[in-house]
């Protein structure tokens, strides 16, 4: 029986790279997306061409009803879940905190924090040996911004990822005795189109001098870290926050 992985925000960037690598490793996949149906279907076609069982599910992870419906689909299609990759997230236009409004914080915390909480909750209900499950692994996507603070750019995003770090640490301890490992990956500046969402598509060129390795990372490099944490090679690793940031 194939191991089943749910990847939220799987239509682009790190999520898509993780899906392609997971497919090569033999996972059956549920690819979540919110708006980019064409991109999600393109990833789906690539995976199915490799002979892997995969589906796409549209859901806004910040919406509880949509998350519940997504997990109902997983139950019907696969019958179990082994790995959750909480990758879905977003940021908004770069600005100083004094110019932000509360609605922006609600959107950013909803996508980055509430979504990860809801998906983790539903995954635990299915994975926990306490609930009759067979264990599993949860990997939360944080950001090096949680440690650096993102001043003048996205303090709200950095704060959201700080919340992800805290949730990862607490949840890892909470479910360690139930067969579930919970870890986080904190990417640095990565070549994805999330920077365009912040209004600076070429941001990596501006900040790469602050990266000791002197370059931005690739989505595939983050995917490798995620798949390691999901694997049996990381069987004694839980509550870890793995920086994949070129030394930044």
Catalytic status, residue 157: yes
Q: Measured between alpha carbons, how far is 200 from 94 in angstroms, rounded to an integer?
A: 8
Give yes or no for a contact between 87 and 8, defined as CB atoms under 8 angstroms apart: yes
| CA separation for the pair 166, 228 (Å, rounded) | 21
Residue 108: how many CB atoms within 10 A of its CB?
24
Burial code (b: 16+ CB inside 10 Å, e: under 16) for 36-47 equals beebbeebbeeb
Tell me the sheet residues that pair with 216: none
The one catalytic residue in 27, 33, 157, 236 is: 157
What 3-state class would DSSP assign to 111?
Answer: helix
> Rounded distance, CA 123 to CA 6, Å?
9
Active site residues: 157
């Amino acid at each position: 029986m194939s191991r089943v992985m749910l990847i939220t925000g799987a239509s682009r960037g790190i999520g898509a790279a993780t899906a392609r690598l997971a497919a090569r490793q033999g996972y059956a996949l549920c690819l979540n997306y919110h708006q980019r149906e064409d991109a999600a279907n393109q990833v789906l076609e690539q995976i199915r061409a490799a002979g892997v069982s995969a589906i796409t599910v549209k859901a806004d992870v910040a919406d509880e009803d949509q998350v519940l419906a997504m997990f109902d689909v997983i139950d019907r299609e696969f019958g179990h879940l082994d790995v959750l990759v909480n990758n879905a997230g977003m940021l908004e236009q770069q600005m100083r905190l004094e110019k932000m409004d509360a609605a922006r914080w609600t959107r950013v915390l909803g996508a980055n924090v509430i979504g990860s909480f809801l998906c983790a909750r539903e995954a635990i209900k299915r994975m926990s040996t306490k609930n009759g499950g067979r264990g599993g692994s949860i990997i939360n996507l944080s950001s090096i911004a949680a440690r650096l603070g993102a001043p003048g750019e996205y303090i709200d995003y950095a704060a959201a990822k700080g919340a992800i770090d805290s949730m990862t640490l607490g949840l890892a301890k909470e479910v360690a005795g139930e067969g579930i490992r919970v870890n986080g990956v904190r990417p640095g500046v990565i070549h994805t189109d999330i920077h365009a969402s912040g209004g600076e598509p070429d941001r990596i060129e501006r900040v790469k001098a602050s990266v000791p390795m002197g370059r931005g990372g690739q989505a595939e490099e983050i995917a490798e870290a995620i798949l390691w944490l999901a694997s049996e090679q990381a069987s004694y690793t839980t509550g870890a926050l793995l920086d994949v940031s070129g030394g930044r």
